[in-house]
Structure 1
Amino acid sequence: MPSNRTIGIVGLAFLIGLVVGGVGVSAVLPVDSGSVDPDRPPYSISSGTGCIEQSDDWAFTAPVDPGESSDRTFLVRASIEHDQSRELDARLEHAGEGRYLFVLTTGQAEKSGTPECSDGVYGSTVDLAATLPGDFESVTVVFDGEQVATIENPGDRSPTYQPLSF
């Protein structure tokens, strides 16, 4: 089983590749300003469950293309501690009027044979990568029905980083 450090490095490499690839594609292909459907923005979620170590949880947003597009890249990294009998589900929802929800919920796991964690705690690490309309208002992170954080659109072309705490 790969170490948590290896999983973290792979996850970070995935996110960096996603951002660099997105910028590379936007530099080659014609960009249509405001091309994201606000009701169904493109997004990808990756996750892993097992023994997790303390990690930094964060949200980051930046312009997709510093040139013509007004769309914004939105990334979240979250490590959630939960019981071994639970599993994590994650989804991005459009809540209307430029608001989005990144919803994380735990439910009964259907698997067995989960590892004992001697050096860490059991849980899941989740990465969200989305392209949102440039005029989005906010993304609220919700865990098991409770609001964890709200990330506001900075209203300009600057990138923003926000630490999260679960």
Structure 2
Amino acid sequence: MSSTAYSATAVLAALFVGLVVGAGAVAFATPTDLTVSPTSSTAAATGCLGSDESAPTSWVARAPAGDRTTFVFNRTFTHDAPSVRIEGTAEEQADGVYVYRLTTSPDEDGEKTPSEGCTPRTKLDAVVSVPSEYESFTVTFDGEELVTIENDGSNPLFRTLEG
């Protein structure tokens, strides 16, 4: 049985070559252009319109942070059904053009009638995050365009939509 002894320099050189080849393979296999999809979330609560409230009322805020810009949207609105189902979808309509579509429909309780003296009112909060390189961001509500915000350098923004 013969044993082969390698010098420390040879072992370190082999280890270094292995690291370089491995790093090159990882760099070659890793995509260089990552795309970031828009993300969104909604929350809503339904009750009766208070005597001191008016509807509809809406506002939108923009908060840039690095490679993402987050939009916060709020809408208070009345409806005929005692409760509504709300669906929100964020999509890139064209390069850099993002649309957040909110649609409402009567909930399973829609067959019921509101209690006497109650005008059903829903407060909706939504959060949407898009890449900071966006060109424009639009919010639609049941097919109606409520606001379009152009990218003007990603400064924070707060805007009311009625009044």
* Aligned counterpart, 1:102: 100
- Measured in 2, the distance between the counterparts of 1:117 and 1:144 equals 27
* Aligned counterpart, 1:116: 115
* Aligned counterpart, 1:93: 90
* Aligned counterpart, 1:41: 38
Check 1:130–1:93 CA distance in 2 against 1; reply closer, same or farther (3 A cut). closer
Give the deviation of 1:146 after TM superposition.
1.9
* Aligned counterpart, 2:20: none
* Aligned counterpart, 1:158: 155
Check 1:97–1:84 CA distance in 2 against 1; reply closer, same or farther (3 A cut). same
Check 1:35–1:50 CA distance in 2 against 1; reply closer, same or farther (3 A cut). farther
Identity %: 30
Check 1:117–1:90 CA distance in 2 against 1; reply closer, same or farther (3 A cut). farther
Greater radius of gyration (CA)? 2
Gaps of 5+ in 1: 1-33
Please give the TM-score of this superposition, normalised by the length of structure 2. Answer: 0.63
- Measured in 2, the distance between the counterparts of 1:88 and 1:99 equals 26
**Is the Cα contact below 8 Å between 2:70 and 2:128 reproduced in 1?**
yes
Give the deviation of 1:164 after TM superposition.
1.5
Check 1:72–1:109 CA distance in 2 against 1; reply closer, same or farther (3 A cut). same
Gaps of 5+ in 2: 1-32
